Amino acid sequence: MSTILKNRISPDQRFAKRDKTEYHVFSHCIEDASTIEKWVGITRPKNVLIDPRTYEALRNSRIEWQFDEENTIVAVVIKDSGPVEEVKGEATGEVKATGEVKATGEVKATGEVKD
């Protein structure tokens, strides 16, 4: 069964720039990006910064990022062999946004991005 995790980061904090590189910002458990001290950077298939707790949830999994019409990550699907299950509740929220899946890949850490 596949699992969908909603992006809980505030919509106005879902993009970041470090040096000349732009990143999407994603967390399934944190709403305020300014509270995260250490970010994990993913560079393939998209540049994405995620918090360490989200990284642990996605590590070594096949995933598909879900984007809205403004090309903002709204959710991630953790791929399995079964049907899709939406994760609901206080910790992850309910996924209501829909969008075209534009990128797939396997999550592997490439290093930490620190401010």
Domain residue limits, the chain: 2-113
Neighbours of 30 (CB within 10 A): 19
pLDDT of residue 77: 95
pTM summary value = 0.68
pLDDT tens-digit profile of 75-106?
999 987 455 555 554 444 343 433 343 444 55
pLDDT beyond 90 at 13: yes
pLDDT tens-digit profile of 36-62?
999 999 988 899 999 999 999 999 899
pLDDT tens-digit profile of 22-31?
999 999 999 9
